[in-house]
A and B are shown apart, each in its own frame.
Chain A
Amino acid sequence: MKFKLFKKESSHFLELIKIIFRFSLLIFIILFIIDYVLPGFVTNWFNPIWFLIIAILSGIITIIND
């Protein structure tokens, strides 16, 4: 039996999780490149690693439920 974290009724939630995964990963990559070229442009204000953490968590939820 396949383990599912969310039931079928919550498909909107799963769609949302997939979008969060794509966007958080994309934002992290963009911010990483910007900060690599211009050190401090992003990291002087906040730590972009949070976007990677969100991407990993939402990615795990997506894999478990797909």
Chain B
Amino acid sequence: MFKKITFTLFALVTVGLLLWLANINIPYGGELIVEMKLGEDQPMITQLGPAVRVKSGAEYQTILETPVYFDLRSMPWFTQAQIRLVYQEAGLELAGLGGQTGPGWGYDLQKPLVFNDLVLAKEGWQEAIFNFDLTKIYQQKNIRRFLLATDPIGGGELKIKNLKIILSR
């Protein structure tokens, strides 16, 4: 009896675990939001690098020189990505964000579509939105590299408060 109950419980846990994994990877609404923890590597998204060009702070990260990069690891059924970047220009102007186009150093840089949120604007922050077709971005296995560029490339600062990626099918 004990064996049967325990066996059933574990079987349910196994099925539950697989269902949970399917549910988070294939979201019902078709969208998955990935948020970068600034200064920390996560399985789905890396931190901004190389480290010598970035200074970490408690509430935001400061980019001292560009280009800086980050990698995104996503499931193959996500074909669109909207990247929302909350930033503040302090000597460096946000020139754009681009996805890698081939195995070498080639990036299709997109200009930011600036969205001024009133709450953010009061604190001096701006939000830029970039839309990417992930099928056109070069990938190794399922890892895609993005580049963030400023104008000029150094001599000031660009503060990043938040980087959020909305993946959709």
Which single member of A12, A15, A26, A45 contacts B43 (CB below 8 Å)? Answer: A45
Are A40 and B6 within 8 A (Cβ)? no
Chain B count of residues within 8 A CB distance of the other chain: 21
**Shortest Cβ distance from B22 into A: residue:** A41
User: From residue 15 to 56 of chain A, which have CB atoms closer than 8 A to chain B?
Assistant: 15-16, 19-20, 23, 26-27, 30, 34, 38-45
**Shortest Cβ distance from B74 into A: residue:** A40
How many A-B pairs fall under 8 Å by CB?
A: 43
Interfacial chain B residues near A45, Cβ < 8 Å: 21, 24, 43
**Interface of B (DSSP majority class):** helix
**Contacts A30-B18, A41-B25; A19 near B142 (Cβ below 8 A):** no
**Shortest Cβ distance from B3 into A: residue:** A15
Are A40 and B18 within 8 A (Cβ)? no
Interfacial chain B residues near A34, Cβ < 8 Å: 21
Are A39 and B6 within 8 A (Cβ)? no
Chain A count of residues within 8 A CB distance of the other chain: 18
**CB of A51 to closest CB in B, whole Å:** 10
Interfacial chain B residues near A40, Cβ < 8 Å: 43-44, 73-75, 142
Residues of B at the A interface (CB closer than 8 Å) are 2-3, 6-7, 10-11, 13-14, 17-18, 21, 24-25, 43-44, 73-76, 141-142
Since A19-B10, A45-B43 are in contact, a sample of 8 more A-B pairs with Cβ atoms closer than 8 Å, ordered by chain A residue number, is A19-B7, A27-B14, A39-B141, A39-B142, A40-B43, A40-B142, A41-B25, A45-B24
Residues of A at the B interface (CB closer than 8 Å) are 12, 15-16, 19-20, 23, 26-27, 30, 34, 38-45
A-B contact pairs, 18 of them (CB 8 A): A19-B6, A20-B10, A23-B11, A23-B14, A26-B14, A30-B14, A34-B21, A39-B142, A40-B74, A40-B75, A40-B142, A41-B21, A41-B25, A42-B21, A44-B25, A44-B43, A44-B44, A45-B21
